[in-house]
């Protein structure tokens, strides 16, 4: 089996994998987080601008009946949310994307998706390598795998993994 390694990580307008929401009660913490993840397009740092609990019990009055949820999934309660809470710390909350992550094979140009391993800490460095493997020496058919290396601040390795990738069908 011949194996060629193509290295790629492109944001390709993909939404961030991790979102960190900083609470307003810690001045300067938002700036610190934004600086820490400034070179990580897979992490977005946001300020929590909410004031109090949004979904307080309200007295139902005549024409002001609010029978439906204003936010969230409309019409299909079984649909998985785009992000899930993975960690809550002092002054921040970390949300992680629930869907598959995209990548591209430099060898054949195939768009692939893979399940990103769950991590409660967004990586400061994310290396994604798409591996192009020919199924047999005489075949042009290939399969793909993704090699991941997630590192934290200061270069501490959080995870190293090799994951099966699915080739996305192009319509």
**Residue ranges making up the domain that contains 86:** 3-53+82-167
Into how many domains does the chain fold? 1
HEC-encoded secondary structure of the chain: CCEEEEECCCCCCCCCCEEEEECCCCCCHHHHHHHHCCCCCCEEEEECCCCCCCCCCCCCCHHHCCCCCCCCCCCCCCCCCCEEEEEEECCEEEEEECCCEEEECCCCCCEEEECCCCCCCCCCEEEEEEEEEECCCCCCCEEEEEEEEEECHHHCEEEEEEEECEECCCC
Q: What is the pLDDT of residue 10?
A: 46
User: Would residue 110 count as lying in a domain?
Assistant: yes
| Res 94 pLDDT > 90 | yes
pLDDT class of 113 with cuts at 50, 70, 90: very high
pLDDT class of 13 with cuts at 50, 70, 90: low
User: Would residue 68 count as lying in a domain?
Assistant: no
Overall average pLDDT of the 106-125 stretch: 88
Whole-structure pTM value: 0.70
User: Would residue 75 count as lying in a domain?
Assistant: no
């Amino acid at each position: 089996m011949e194996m060629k390694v193509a290295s790629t990580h492109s944001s390709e307008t993909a939404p961030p994998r991790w979102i960190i929401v900083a609470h307003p009660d810690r001045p300067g913490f938002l700036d610190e987080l934004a600086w820490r993840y400034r070179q990580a397009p897979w992490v977005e740092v946001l300020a929590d601008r909410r004031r109090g609990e949004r979904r307080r019990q309200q007295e139902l009055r005549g024409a002001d009946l609010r029978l439906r949820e204003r936010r969230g999934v409309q019409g299909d309660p079984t649909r998985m949310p785009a992000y899930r809470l993975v960690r809550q710390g002092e002054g921040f909350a970390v949300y992680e994307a629930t869907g598959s992550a995209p990548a591209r094979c430099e060898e054949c140009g195939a768009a692939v998706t893979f399940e990103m391993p769950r991590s409660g800490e967004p990586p400061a460095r994310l290396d994604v390598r798409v591996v192009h493997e020919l199924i047999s020496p005489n075949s042009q058919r290939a399969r793909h795998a993704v090699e991941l290396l997630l590192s934290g601040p200061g270069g501490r390795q959080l995870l190293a993994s090799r994951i099966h990738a699915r080739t996305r069908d192009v319509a």
